[in-house]
Structure 1
């Protein structure tokens, strides 16, 4: 993984809403799954946007 991707992921994680942070630690697997799916979607989005931005340079 290159530094640009690491930077994108770091920024994404630092901007996580509190409900995701809270729900990732939940004992209820349904609640935790919702947070995990949201996190994956956020990461996929930021990586695709980052890739698109890099290809436009």
Structure 2
């Protein structure tokens, strides 16, 4: 299972530096996760102020 960032994302960037495998990047209106590399650790979800990253 991987994480996905929902439309709730406010583009704050808190999640990106927390990802241990660097699969989070800025998109045009929200951050995105490359699900093929996600290790399902939840580090992004733990720091998100709006709970945008969710398990897929």
TM (norm. structure 2) is 0.29
Which protein is richer in strand relative to its size? 2
Which protein is richer in helix relative to its size? 1
Question: Which structure is larger by alpha-carbon Rg, 1 or 2?
Answer: 1
